[in-house]
Amino acid sequence: MDSDTRSIFSTAPPSYDENWSHRIEEPERAQNPPPPPPPTQPGPSFVNSPRTDHQYSPSGGPPEYASDHIQTTQGTLYASSEGEVVLTWNPPPTPLHDPRSPTRPSIPQNARASSSSTVSTLQPRARIPAPAPPSSEPITYTFSPSSFNSMLLLPPATAADSRPLYHISVHQNCFIPTSFATVLRRGASEQGQMGISDESSTVTMDDTQRLLSKVLTQVTVYGYVRDQKQFRWKFGDTEVNWTVSLLKPMVKATCTLKAAGRNGPELAVLVPANMQDPVWRGERRLTTIRITPAAEPYIDHILVSALVLERMRLTPRGFEDLFNFANYTR
C-alpha cells in the first residue's frame, strides 16, 4: 500500500517518514486533467486547458508554485509548507452612484452598528417657542364657538401668540335642567378648575369658593346716569369696577381698576354680539373683549366677572329668582 492510500484510510496523523503535504483544492485546478477527446477526423486536435497561473506537468504530482500564492479576484490565498492557509480580503471599490437608482438615506457614522443590533437615530427635539412678550397695545379677543356647549377666547390672527387664551364650557345640572355651571380653563384644553358653579351661584377660583352675591355687588352712584349701572368685583385682594352701559344699540361694559379717590386705569371693554356697530347691518358678529396691557395681572378676574355680567344681562325679566339673581336690580 503506497503512502497516499495509507493517509486516506488512516485516522491518525501522517507519520514523519511520509512525504505528505496539504492538498489545496481549487475549482480552476485539477489533479489529473481529463484525457483529450478522440479526434473525429484526421488531423491535429486542440484541447482548451484551464487557464492557471503556473504551468504543470499532467503526469507529475501537484503543481510547483513559484511564490506559494494564488491571486484571486477578491483577495490573496497564501499556502505555506506547514499546511496553514491564510486568506486576506481586499474590499471592492465603492461603486459610483447611479442617478437612476433610488437614493438610500445615509446613516451617520456614530449611529452605525452591527447586523445583530438595532440602529436608531434620535429625532431632534422640537424647540419650544419662547413666550411672546407682553404687548404694549390693547388686544381685542373674540369669543369663538367651539362646540354646542363650549367656546374659545381667541386673539386676533395678527397677534404674536395666536393660541387660545381660555376654554369656556357650560355644563347642565341633571337634577335641575335650568341650572348650569360655566367653567373656564386656561388654554385650549379642558384642564384646570375655575368657573361659576350652579350651586347657589358660587364662584370658584384657585380652589377658593365664594358666594357670587358676596363677590359681585352693585354700587350706588351719586348723580345717577340713566341706562348705566356700576358693579364692584372683589375676590381676595383683587378689586375691579365695571360700568355697564345699557343704551342700545351700543351696549358695552367697561372694566377699570379700583383706585382710592380717583378713577383707575381702564382694563377691559366688553362688547356683546351685534353691538359693535350702532347701525344694524344684518351681519352676525361675535362677542369681543378688548384687554389692555395693564389688565394682565387681573385677567382671570376680568373674564369671570364679564361672563357673570353677560349672564345677568341676558336673563329674561321675571326669572331673576330662578337664576339666583334676585339681589341685583336690572
Indicate the DSSP class of residue 4: H
Cβ 152 vs Cβ 167: under 8 Å: yes
Beta-sheet pairing, 139-147 with 288-291: antiparallel
CA distances from residue 47 to 18, 36, 212 in whole angstroms, order as listed: 35, 6, 115
CA distances from residue 40 to 35, 43, 49, 288 in whole angstroms, order as listed: 15, 9, 19, 110
**Residue whose cell numbers read 355680567:** 309
pLDDT at 42: 52
pLDDT at 172: 82
| Alpha carbon of residue 117 to chain centroid | 27
pLDDT at 205: 84
| Alpha carbon of residue 312 to chain centroid | 42
pLDDT at 108: 46
Buried b (16+ CB within 10 A) or exposed e, 259-287: eeeeeeebbbbbbbebbbeeeeeeeeeeb
pLDDT tens-place values along the chain, 330 residues long: 555 554 444 455 555 455 555 555 555 554 555 666 655 555 454 444 445 444 444 455 555 544 454 454 445 555 555 555 555 666 666 555 555 555 544 444 444 433 333 333 334 444 444 444 456 788 999 999 999 899 999 999 888 888 899 999 988 878 877 777 888 888 776 554 445 555 567 888 878 888 888 999 998 776 666 778 889 999 988 999 999 887 776 788 999 988 665 668 899 999 987 655 555 555 667 889 999 999 999 999 999 999 989 888 887 766 555 555 444 433
| Alpha carbon of residue 252 to chain centroid | 41
Find, among 57, 53, 82, the residue nearest to 67 by Cα: 53
Residue extents of the structural domains in the chain: 139-314
